[in-house]
Amino acid sequence: MTTAVKNDRLKKRFEKWDVNGNGRIERSDFEAEATRIIDAFGEDHASPQARAVKDSFLTMYEYLAGKAGVGPNGSLNEQQFTQVIEAQIFQEGDAGFSRVVRPTIAAIVGLCDTDGDGEVNQKEFAKWLNAIGVEASAVAPAFRAIDVNGNGKLTVDELVHAVRDYHLGKSDVPLLGK
């Protein structure tokens, strides 16, 4: 895939996180994404799993905002967001995704993992994708594509790699939704 695909997906990510549509991503936008996911699971916002999801999103925002030079209470426009994602995640490859994205995915897995096995089954995965606006018809094919070892469960590693490959334009597994 091309750089254009990667850039288009990054633009869509920005638009998805810009919850209020003001052309800027703020801490509250990341908090809103966490809330949508927590609510999709009907989780009590005070539970350890819900707090972990919220904290991971806020930590990711604070990291990116700090690296962009706007501080934890500042906001990022699309250009700043694109530049900081490119520098802190894409150019760093696996290390960047592990540092910035993995904690959030691990927290979401902790929320999704209703049977406590440390992995996400297809039903749990469907709830997650529904929370972020992915069409229900895309769940089964996405699950199969991400489940590289074919064991019927998704690990944090498989999910981090799927998010990486999607955003780098190496995979068409739908992970953004509307």
Residue 117 has what pLDDT? 86
pLDDT score at 71: 94
Helical packing angle, 78-85 and 48-68, nearest 10°? 100
Structure tokens at 29: 């936008």
Enumerate residue ranges in the chain where pLDDT < 50. Answer: 1
Kindly list the domain boundaries of the chain, sorted by start residue: 3-167
The CATH number assigned to the domain with range 3-167 reads 1.10.238.10
DSSP code of 171? -
- 66-75 pLDDT tens trace: 999 999 999 9
Phi and psi angles of residue 25, each rounded to the nearest 5 degrees, phi first = -105, 130
- The average confidence (pLDDT) of the chain is 88
Contact 127, 112 (CB under 8 A): yes
* Distance of alpha carbon 134 from alpha carbon 47, whole angstroms: 25
* pLDDT for res 174: 67
In this predicted structure, what is the pLDDT of residue 6?
Answer: 77
For residue 72, what are the CA distances in angstroms to 25, 47, 57, 145? 11, 24, 12, 36
Considering the entire predicted model, what is its pTM? 0.87
CB distance 80 to 57 below 8 Å: no
- Rounded to whole angstroms, how far apart are CA atoms 17 and 132? 10
